[in-house]
């Protein structure tokens, strides 16, 4: 079968007894970085007996048939990444999906996760949250990413590289407002672990001086609900306009109260009238 195994984020003492056993007994170990996996095994005092193969982003699709073949032949394939859970913004999704489609057994050895660790340490609401992976690298796509989070009522967790963190936080402050609170979690479980929670504007100023290490960001949920869809406001405009006031003036008034575009609302009212003939 395929066994997904979570590995420590930094402190090898977080490894589970089941991970130690799997590193020894697996027939094949598919590792994001074979050197780091060997170093982890050494730190845990175990010696892998199976064949260790590279399984990183650039070769993931090419290695899937070989690993599936091993499982078909009755071998146990252990999938590990550098830190955390395979397939969560790490290699593994293609292999898991292919195995499930083929009816091959897949199981998981749970353990460390940067997502839930950062969420717990942030002190932000954790009853409802979403994970967004890595922030887009290009400026336009990154700002669009934050616009989609402007009215997100759940806490949001995402990853970012240290050399792009300052630009990302500056864009977040510009799009979401400097007062929106977030927590930057750095080097989780490692010697220089740091969790800095503050308004986005303050975090952007802090990150401008340079930040090192593995970064997970936790963003507080939006405090206000999204504006209504303009289509939902059309009946209100039509009802108010029945008093004799000019339709465009009514649309402008309703749009201002609802926080939507007056032009979009007026056009929606005209379109509704046209559909009805």
- Distant-in-sequence, close-in-space partners of 76: CB < 8 Å, separation ≥ 6: 1, 3, 22, 25, 26, 27, 28, 50
- Mean per-residue pLDDT, 193-208: 97
A 10 A CB-CB count for 275 gives 7
d(CA 207, CA 205): 6
Query: For 24-51, what is the mean pLDDT?
Result: 97
> 6, 27, 10: which is closest to 86 by C-alpha?
6
**CATH class of segment(s) 115-219:** alpha beta
Helix axes 262-276, 247-258, angle to 10 degrees: 130
- Return the beta strands (E) in the chain as ranges: 2-5, 28-31, 51-54, 77-80, 106-109, 129-134, 155-160, 181-186, 194-199, 215-219
- pTM score of the predicted model: 0.80
**Whole-angstrom distance, CA of residue 94 vs CA of residue 68:** 11
Q: What is the CATH number of domain 2-112?
A: 3.40.1010.10
pLDDT average, residue stretch 9-33: 97
Residue identified by tokens 């220089």 is 192
CA separation (Å) from 220 to 113, 124, 199, 223, 262?
19, 6, 10, 9, 30
When the pLDDT of each residue in the chain is averaged and rounded to a whole number, the result is 94
Contacts of 54-62 with CB under 8 Å at 24 or more apart are 54/30, 55/30, 55/31, 55/79, 55/91, 55/92, 55/95, 56/32, 56/91, 57/91, 60/91, 60/92, 60/94, 60/95, 61/94
How far is the C-alpha of 29 from the C-alpha of 67, rounded, in Å? 10
Model confidence band, residue 244 (pLDDT cutoffs 50, 70, 90): confident
What is the tens place of the pLDDT at every residue in 56-96? 999 999 999 999 999 999 999 999 999 999 999 899 999 99
* The pLDDT of residue 35: 97
Asked if residue 196 lies in contact with residue 206, where contact means CB atoms within 8 angstroms, the answer is yes
Lowest-pLDDT choice from 93-107, 165-179, 243-257: 243-257
3-state class of 143 per DSSP? helix
Tokens standing for 187?
Answer: 């080097």
Nearest-angstrom CA–CA distance, 81 and 78: 10
264: its two tokens = 């979009």
H/E segment holding residue 163:
none
pLDDT tens, 153-194?
Answer: 999 999 999 999 999 999 999 999 999 999 999 999 999 999
The model's confidence at residue 114, banded by pLDDT at 50, 70 and 90, is very high
């Amino acid at each position: 079968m395929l066994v997904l195994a979570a590995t420590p984020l930094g402190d090898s003492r977080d490894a589970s007894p089941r991970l130690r056993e799997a590193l020894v007994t697996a027939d094949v170990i598919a590792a994001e970085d074979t050197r780091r996996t060997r170093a982890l095994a050494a730190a845990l005092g175990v010696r892998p007996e199976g064949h260790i193969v590279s399984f990183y982003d650039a070769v993931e699709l090419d290695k899937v048939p070989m690993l599936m073949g091993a499982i078909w032949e009755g071998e146990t394939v252990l999938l590990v990444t550098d830190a955390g859970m395979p397939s969560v913004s790490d290699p593994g999704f293609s292999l898991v999906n292919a195995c499930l489609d083929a009816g091959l057994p897949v199981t998981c050895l749970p353990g460390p996760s940067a997502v839930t660790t950062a969420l717990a340490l942030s002190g932000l609401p954790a009853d409802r949250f979403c994970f967004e992976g890595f922030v887009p690298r290009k400026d336009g796509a990154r700002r669009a990413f934050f616009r989609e989070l402007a009215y997100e009522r759940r806490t949001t967790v995402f990853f970012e590289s240290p050399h792009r963190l300052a630009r990302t936080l500056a864009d977040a402050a510009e799009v979401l407002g400097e007062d929106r609170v977030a927590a930057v979690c750095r080097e989780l479980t490692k010697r220089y672990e740091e969790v800095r929670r503050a308004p986005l504007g303050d975090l952007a100023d802090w990150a401008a001086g340079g930040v090192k290490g593995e970064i997970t960001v936790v963003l507080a949920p939006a405090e206000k609900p999204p504006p209504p869809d303009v289509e939902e406001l059309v009946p209100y405009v039509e009802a108010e306009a029945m008093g004799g006031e000019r339709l465009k003036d009514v649309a402008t008034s309703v749009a201002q109260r609802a926080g939507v575009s007056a032009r979009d609302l007026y056009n929606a009212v005209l379109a509704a009238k046209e559909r009805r003939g």
